[in-house]
């Protein structure tokens, strides 16, 4: 039963208020893309033991999707941020780097 | 014999006698007794039989760790198996039955298993089950079924007569355990100003300290407990709940509490159990410690008990477990038991201390009381069958040669104390091996982590590995202050209370007694009482190559019983590590899992049972359907009428009547459950072009279009009619039960991918009631209601119009899911019933017939219309269903388009939709497979198609079906062979899926 702060309405939301949406920052590949790119888009996920970026929806609340940076191992939450971005905001990355030197996630470091 | 002493018993009220029954026998106890203490007071030493060998078993412990004294409690609607006698508070009229015996507790036939013990060793089941199949069926299975399961399941037809509920609580600091450590931790946190909740699993606060003695701030521990409780109760920020167990700790400070509200008062008002869902900023586990048994031969004979428990029964309940009790120990604490017994006037023939030099101050005190102490000695074996008659004294070093026989009725054993680390471990807290105490204790540097990355669980007192009173109090005080401080509360700088108790000499780890016990002794030395696992079993597992503790656990079943190995874990682990020649910390522990002790199914269910198990969604016409005899079908969270049988009519006949009436004159359907989502904004058309496979942006206002939605994998996910309301606004119909899912799907793409598109969505499913008026006379009935032009010219097929009908504001869609002339009328939900009844009245002269979901399904199948969930199963693409016409070739992109270009999706051998007509007119079984020649790699018959929808068509007077068939559309007229559940072949011809009115003339009038 995780708790996340919804970055839209500010509620500290219990997991039962949320629905999980898998990995964040997945780039969509549509018609015209190569088989490799499309396969990556549909099926390849980081699934790390460690820092991860995830999609959550405040479904039983304000209804907004947001993104969270969380350690899948210790359950530490480094921050949440609105979903309208292709890259985690710098303050979130800084918070992670401070606690996890050498952290890497896809092309983020 | 065990008996009630003439005086003593701090928890019982001798002025309040209580009568109860055990195996039908009338027995007496006192208010304040547990069932266990009352049984012992009545000399009921034998309380059950063991699981595997059916060995006689007695009470071992005095609390939650009890492995043996499990009983069937109560009768009828209140019967519950596997209740621990040690945690069952006695009440007037209690009835209990012992378990695992046949025909009786005293004479048990299964006990012969014990003579075959050498064949029933570790891994017995695994070794036997590889034998031939016939043996399985005729030998093993009946044997296992006979002996499997602990206790008797309650009668399946009898409903639990009690009530249960869930509570939510939010607190800064949650303290689990109400012993002196828990109380001090709560006091320290409470004085800091934090909101504190303290839960204690038993009915009494104070824990072991009042039994174990010593002083706190110069007072008896009991007096300090009373004083501290009074102080806590006076603090408005502190809540204390007894009879509430910390069952589990989960992510981010989420804790489950299990409150036994009225177990000792059955039948009183209010709930029996309460499940607490607690969210705490910091959790302090002050869960104490559990004493370990010692592994010597016959350590399971009734009368062999934990030393601490023997002491508890004397001090708390005034119960003696035997006139003569031998104490056997590897530490100083057990001397307290000898001293308590001697002071109560009972005989302690001998204290057998495995340590060559014995103990410290407590040993001296015992000796001063005249008790004989044998150091460097052990018990070779216990004498007796259904109760202890004596012990064989031996040297600790050696194989167990007899030194002397000592007669006694009870043995009080102590192998040291293990901190209760279960809750600490539930959410990832790690342990460290404490060699001095030969126990695992919480490693504060590897604590469970909260959302902020800080440790959010703190262990305190005995649960943190402290034994001496002073250390316990100090540790608890620090834990309470740290927890409050971490949450921003300023802790007072006061000192913790002063605890004083006897200094102790170090413990000596004893995992087997005597040290080199021969096989005959080892196979009688029990580790896990409840699952009948012995020292020899674990040693055998190690010899057979089981090196991992997790594997050994499963192979031997050590620690897998309902007590989760509370007594056996460390002892078993030590035996395994010795056999493997590896240190204990390297072998590690098995995983601790919640709940700490079993909790009732009722508490888990809470109020969610019967009608409110799942909330029911009702359409505005639900009551009308109910009053008119609807047969219900669950659809999503709704109940929809399956059909409306008339008196004397079965469901089959009702469905046929409803279809015939609709096709010949007029029917009506409550279609309110259909999903309705408004999509609005300048980019709404562009957005829907991405969501649907066909083009929606070109739809003219006032028109309707059937659309298909796919996911990014290309698979068909939903379908429905889209109506364009105006330039900026669309209304999307979804399948019943699909509205929430599709609305979430829309929001996902809008918020996370195309967040710059100007579109809003709103799920208005419940804002509108919707009624389908269907059949050749539909227009006449609407015209009778009057108010708007519903003619073919004004409202052609696949258009919609706003207006009024019979004075009710309505939006009327000319769409058809039946192939007939059909109007779907949406009105504000609160007008739904009024319109429904107006239609019933107006249609009476045409025999208007309400129909249900089955008629709906049959009529759509007669027309070859697909149904999401019948023709689709998450692996079907629109192209499989002959729906290529609904896929835009012009659009550059839509969800699923790229996936539908993948090689597997364009494979010409994908099964495709066809109609199926049985040669004999019968109805094909749903899901039936069509044979093909040959066999696949698994030796199974090849298949070439399957049935997706199948009905009896009253219109055609025969069975009709749809199915997906290899190259189906190219094989019209070919006969396939299906099979029914009996394996009989059924021949069916491939035909067009449109069975009725293929030209579509009837709906377009
Ligand atoms: Zn929110």
Model confidence over B269-328: pLDDT tens digits? 899 999 999 999 999 999 999 999 999 999 999 999 999 999 999 999 999 999 999 999
pLDDT score of B102: 60
Residue A14 alpha carbon to ligand 1 centre in Å: 11
Question: What is the second-level CATH architecture of the domain B1-155?
Answer: Roll (3.10)
Check: CB of residue B181 under 8 Å from CB of residue B461: yes
pLDDT category at B131 given cuts 50, 70, 90 is low
Task: Confirm or reject contact between A102 and chain B (CB < 8 A).
Answer: no
CATH number for the region B525-587 comes to 1.10.10.1100
pLDDT of B225 > 80? The answer is: yes
Mean pLDDT across the stretch B797-805? 97
Per residue in B281-296, pLDDT tens?
999 999 999 999 999 9
Collect all residues of chain A within an 8 Å Cβ-Cβ radius of residue B428. Answer: 74-75
Note the pLDDT of residue B745: 96
Angstrom distance (rounded) from CA B330 to CA B324:
20
The pLDDT score that the predictor gives to residue B188 is 98
Q: What is the pLDDT of residues A87-98, one digit of tens each?
A: 999 999 999 999
Q: What residues in A contact B713, CB-CB < 8 Å?
A: 42
pLDDT band at B746 (very low <50, low <70, confident <90, very high): very high
Q: Cβ distance B798 to B821 under 8 Å?
A: no
The CA–CA distances, whole Å, from B69 to B62, B96, B556, B808 equal: 10, 11, 22, 70
Poorest-confidence range of B190-194, B560-564, B664-668, B708-712? B560-564
| Residues A63, B713: C-beta atoms closer than 8 Å | no
The Å distance, Cα A13 to ligand 1 centre, comes to 8
How confident is residue B226, by pLDDT bands cut at 50, 70 and 90? very high
pLDDT the model gives residue B532: 87
3-state secondary structure of B528: strand
CATH superfamily, domain B675-766, is Aminomethyltransferase beta-barrel domains (3.30.70.1400)
Please, which pLDDT band fits residue B243 given cuts at 50, 70 and 90?
A: very high
Q: Which of B428, B451, B753 shows the shortest C-beta gap to A28?
A: B753
Residue with tokens 């015992």, as numbered in its chain:
B366
Q: Which of B453, B752, B898 sits opposite A83 (nearest CB)?
A: B752
Block residue for tokens 């709103």: B762
- Sorted by sequence, the CB contacts under 8 Å of residue B337 that are 6+ apart come out as B307, B308, B310, B311, B325, B327, B412, B414
Q: Which CATH superfamily is domain B164-290+418-493 in?
A: FAD/NAD(P)-binding domain (3.50.50.60)
The continuous run of DSSP H or E covering B962 comes out as strand B958-966
**So what's the pLDDT on residue B667?**
98
Going from N- to C-terminal start, the domains of chain A cover 3-99
CA distance B602 to chain A (A): 21
pLDDT at B589: 86
The pLDDT assigned to B858 comes to: 98
| pLDDT above 90: residue B670 | yes
Do the chains contact at B251 and A42, CB–CB below 8 Å? no
- pLDDT value at residue B130: 60
Chain B, nearest residue to A43 by Cα: B713
What is the predicted pLDDT for the residue at B7?
94
How close is the Cα of A19 to the center of ligand 1, in Å? 12
List the structure tokens of B865: 């219309």
Is the confidence at residue B112, as pLDDT, over 70? no
- The residue-averaged pLDDT of B777-797 equals 97
CB atoms within 10 A of CB B886: 17
CATH of domain B623-673+767-860: 3.30.1360.120
| Chain position carrying tokens 């509360």 | B489
Ligand 1 centre to CA of A16 (Å) is: 13
- Beta bridge partners, B958, equal B953
CA distance B875 to B14: 72
Chain A: closest CA distance from residue B257 (Å): 15
* Chain B interface includes A35 (CB < 8 A): yes
For all residues of chain B together, what is the average pLDDT? 94
B371-414 pLDDT, tens digit per residue, is: 999 999 999 999 999 999 999 999 999 999 999 999 999 999 99
The model's pLDDT over B644-656, given as tens digits with 9 standing for 90+, comes to: 999 999 999 999 9
Q: Evaluate if residue A109 carries a pLDDT over 80.
A: no
**Rounded Cα–Cα distance for residues B866 and B993 (Å):** 10
- Rounded to whole angstroms, the maximal C-alpha distance in chain A is 42
Sequence ranges of the domains in chain B: 1-155, 164-290+418-493, 293-415, 525-587, 623-673+767-860, 675-766, 902-1005
pLDDT of residue B128: 61
Cβ separation of B751 and A84 shorter than 8 Å?
yes
Find out whether B335 and B327 touch, Cβ atoms under 8 Å. Answer: yes
Q: Quickly state the pLDDT bin for B151 (edges 50, 70, 90).
A: confident
Query: In the Cβ-directed half-sphere of B192, how many Cα atoms lie within 13 Å?
Result: 27
Q: What contacts B151, CB < 8 A, 6 or more positions away?
A: B70, B72, B81, B82, B99, B100
More reliable by pLDDT, B593 or B52: B593
State the smallest CA–CA distance between residue A75 and chain B in angstroms. Answer: 6
Mean pLDDT of B60-66: 97
Tokens for A69, please give them. Answer: 């940076």
> What average pLDDT does range B723-728 have in this prediction?
98
Do B1-155 and B525-587 fold alike per CATH?
no
Position B132 scores a pLDDT of: 62
Residue B1005 tokens read as 């009038």
High-pLDDT (> 90) share of chain B, %: 86
pLDDT reported for residue B50: 82
CB-side neighbour CA atoms (13 Å) of B798: 12
For residue B222, give Cα distances in angstroms to B190, B204, B228, B316, B510.
21, 11, 10, 12, 32
Please indicate whether, in this complex, the C-beta atoms of B744 and A19 are within 8 angstroms of each other.
yes
For residue B565, what pLDDT is reported?
86
What part of A 81-100 touches B (C-beta under 8 Å)? 83-84, 99
Taking an 8 Å cut-off on Cβ atoms, the answer to whether B751 and A42 are in contact is: no
List chain A residues with CB under 8 Å of B254.
Answer: 1
Q: What is the CATH number of domain B293-415?
A: 3.50.50.60
Q: For the residues B28-38, what does the mean pLDDT come to?
A: 98
Tens digits of residue pLDDT in B153-184? 888 888 899 999 999 999 999 999 999 999 99
3-class DSSP state of B375: strand
Q: Reply yes or no on whether the pLDDT at B114 is more than 70.
A: no
* pLDDT tens-digit map of B881-923: 999 999 999 999 999 999 999 999 999 999 999 999 999 999 9
Mean pLDDT of A30-35: 97
- pLDDT band at residue B762 under the 50/70/90 scheme: very high
DSSP character for B663?
Answer: H
DSSP strand pairing (B70-73 vs B822-828): unpaired
Kindly report the CATH number that applies to the domain delimited by A3-99. Answer: 3.30.2270.10
Task: Using the predicted structure, report yes or no on whether residue B148 has a pLDDT greater than 60.
Answer: no
The structural architecture, per CATH, of the domain B902-1005 is Beta Barrel (2.40)
Q: What are the two backbone dihedrals, phi and then psi, of residue B614, each rounded to the nearest 5 degrees?
A: -135, 130
């Amino acid at each position: 039963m995780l708790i996340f702060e919804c970055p839209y309405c500010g509620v500290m939301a219990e997991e039962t208020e949320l629905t999980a949406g898998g990995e964040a920052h997945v780039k969509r590949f549509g018609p015209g893309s190569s088989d490799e790119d499309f396969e990556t888009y549909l099926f390849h996920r980081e699934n790390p033991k460690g820092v991860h970026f995830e999609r959550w929806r405040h479904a039983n609340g304000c209804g907004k999707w947001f993104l969270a940076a969380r350690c899948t191992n210790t359950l530490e939450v480094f921050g949440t941020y609105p979903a309208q971005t292709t890259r985690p905001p710098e303050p979130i990355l800084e918070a992670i780097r401070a606690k996890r030197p050498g952290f890497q996630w896809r092309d983020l470091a | 014999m065990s008996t009630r002493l003439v005086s003593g018993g701090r928890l019982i009220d001798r002025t309040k006698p209580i009568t109860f029954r055990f195996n039908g026998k009338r027995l007496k106890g006192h208010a304040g007794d547990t069932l266990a203490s009352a049984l012992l007071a009545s000399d009921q030493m034998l309380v059950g039989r063991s699981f595997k060998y059916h060995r006689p078993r007695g009470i071992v412990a005095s609390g939650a760790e009890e492995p043996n004294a499990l009983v069937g409690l109560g009768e009828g609607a209140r019967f519950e198996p596997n209740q621990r006698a040690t945690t069952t508070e006695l009440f007037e009229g209690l009835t209990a039955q012992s378990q695992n015996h046949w025909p009786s507790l005293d004479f048990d036939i299964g006990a012969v298993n014990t003579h075959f013990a050498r064949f029933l060793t570790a891994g017995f089941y695994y070794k036997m089950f590889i034998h031939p199949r016939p043996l399985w069926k005729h030998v093993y299975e009946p044997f296992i079924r006979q002996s499997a399961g602990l206790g008797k399941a309650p009668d399946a037809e009898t409903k639990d007569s009690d009530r249960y509920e869930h509570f939510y609580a939010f607190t800064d600091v949650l303290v689990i355990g109400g012993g002196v450590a828990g109380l001090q931790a709560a006091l320290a946190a409470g004085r800091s100003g934090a909101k504190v909740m303290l839960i204690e699993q038993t009915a009494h606060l104070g824990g072991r300290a009042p039994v174990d003695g010593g002083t706190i701030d110069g007072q008896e521990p009991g007096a300090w407990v009373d004083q501290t409780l009074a102080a806590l109760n006076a603090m408005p920020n502190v809540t204390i709940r007894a009879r509430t167990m910390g069952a589990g700790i989960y992510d981010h400070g989420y804790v489950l509490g299990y409150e036994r509200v009225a177990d000792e008062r059955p039948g009183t008002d209010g709930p029996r159990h309460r499940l607490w869902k607690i969210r705490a900023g910091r959790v302090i586990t002050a869960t104490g410690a559990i004493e370990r048994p010692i592994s010597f031969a016959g350590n399971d004979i009734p009368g062999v008990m934990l030393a601490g428990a023997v002491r508890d029964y004397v001090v708390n309940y005034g119960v003696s477990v035997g006139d003569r009790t031998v104490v056997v120990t590897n530490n100083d604490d057990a001397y307290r038991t000898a001293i308590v017994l001697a002071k109560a006037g009972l005989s302690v023939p001998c204290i057998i201390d495995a340590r060559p030099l014995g103990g410290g101050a407590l040993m001296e005190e015992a000796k001063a009381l005249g008790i004989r102490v044998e150091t460097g000695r052990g018990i070779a074996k216990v004498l007796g069958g259904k109760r202890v008659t004596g012990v064989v004294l031996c040297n600790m070093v050696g194989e167990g040669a007899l030194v002397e026989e000592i007669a006694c009725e009870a043995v009080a054993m102590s192998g040291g104390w293990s901190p209760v680390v279960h809750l600490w471990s539930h959410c990832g807290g790690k342990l460290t091996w404490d060699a001095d105490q030969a126990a695992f204790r919480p490693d504060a540097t590897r604590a469970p982590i909260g959302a902020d990355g800080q440790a959010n669980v703190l262990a305190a007192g005995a649960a943190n590995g402290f034994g001496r009173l002073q250390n316990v109090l100090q540790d608890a005080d620090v834990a309470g202050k740290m927890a409050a401080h971490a949450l921003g509360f300023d802790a007072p700088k006061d000192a913790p209370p002063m605890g004083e108790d006897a200094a102790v000499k170090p413990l000596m780890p004893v995992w087997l007694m005597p040290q080199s016990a021969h096989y005959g002794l080892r196979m009688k030395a029990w580790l896990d009482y409840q699952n009948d696992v012995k020292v020899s079993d674990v040693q055998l597992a190690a010899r057979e190559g089981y090196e991992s503790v997790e594997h050994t656990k499963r192979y031997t079943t050590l620690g897998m019983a309902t007590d989760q190995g509370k007594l056996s874990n460390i002892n078993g682990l030590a035996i395994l590590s010795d056999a493997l020649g590896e240190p204990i910390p390297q072998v590690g522990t098995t995983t601790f899992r919640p709940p700490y002790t079993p909790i009732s199914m009722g508490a888990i269910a809470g109020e969610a049972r019967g009608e409110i198990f799942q909330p029911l969604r009702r359409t505005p016409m639900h009551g009308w359907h109910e009053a008119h005899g609807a047969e219900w079908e669950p659809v999503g969270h709704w109940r929809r009428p399956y059909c409306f049988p008339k008196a004397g009519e079965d469901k089959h006949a009702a469905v046929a009547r409803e279809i015939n009436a609709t096709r010949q004159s007029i029917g009506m359907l409550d279609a309110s459950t259909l999903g309705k989502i408004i999509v609005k904004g300048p980019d709404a058309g562009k957005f829907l072009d991405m969501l649907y496979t066909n083009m929606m942006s070109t739809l003219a206002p006032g028109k309707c279009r059937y659309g298909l939605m796919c996911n990014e994998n290309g698979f068909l996910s939903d379908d429905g009619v889209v109506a364009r309301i105006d330039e900026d606004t669309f209304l999307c119909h979804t399948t019943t039960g699909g509205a929430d899912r599709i609305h979430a799907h829309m929001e996902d793409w809008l918020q996370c991918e195309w967040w710059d598109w100007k579109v809003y969505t709103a799920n208005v499913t419940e804002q509108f009631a919707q009624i389908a008026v269907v059949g050749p006379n539909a227009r006449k009935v609407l015209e009778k209601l009057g108010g708007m032009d519903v003619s073919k010219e004004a409202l052609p097929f696949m258009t919609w119009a706003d207006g009024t009908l019979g004075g009710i504001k309505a939006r009327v869609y000319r769409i058809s899911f039946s192939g007939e002339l059909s109007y779907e009328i949406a009105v504000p939900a609160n007008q739904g019933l009024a319109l429904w009844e107006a239609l019933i009245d107006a249609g009476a002269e045409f025999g208007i017939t309400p129909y249900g979901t089955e008629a709906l399904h049959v009529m759509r199948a007669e027309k070859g219309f697909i149904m999401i969930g019948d023709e689709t199963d998450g692996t079907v693409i629109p192209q499989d269903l002959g729906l290529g016409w609904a896929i835009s070739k012009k659009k550059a992109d839509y969800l699923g388009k790229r996936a539908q270009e993948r090689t597997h999706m364009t494979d010409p051998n994908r099964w495709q939709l066809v109609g199926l007509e049985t040669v004999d007119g019968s109805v094909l079984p749903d899901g039936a497979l069509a044979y093909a020649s040959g066999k696949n790699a698994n030796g199974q018959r090849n298949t070439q198609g399957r049935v997706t929808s199948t009905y009896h068509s009253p219109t055609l007077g025969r069975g009709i079906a749809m199915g997906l068939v290899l190259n189906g559309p190219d094989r019209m007229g070919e006969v396939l062979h299906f099979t029914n559940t009996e394996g009989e072949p059924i021949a069916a011809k491939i035909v067009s899926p449109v069975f009725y009115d293929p030209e579509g003339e009837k709906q377009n009038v």
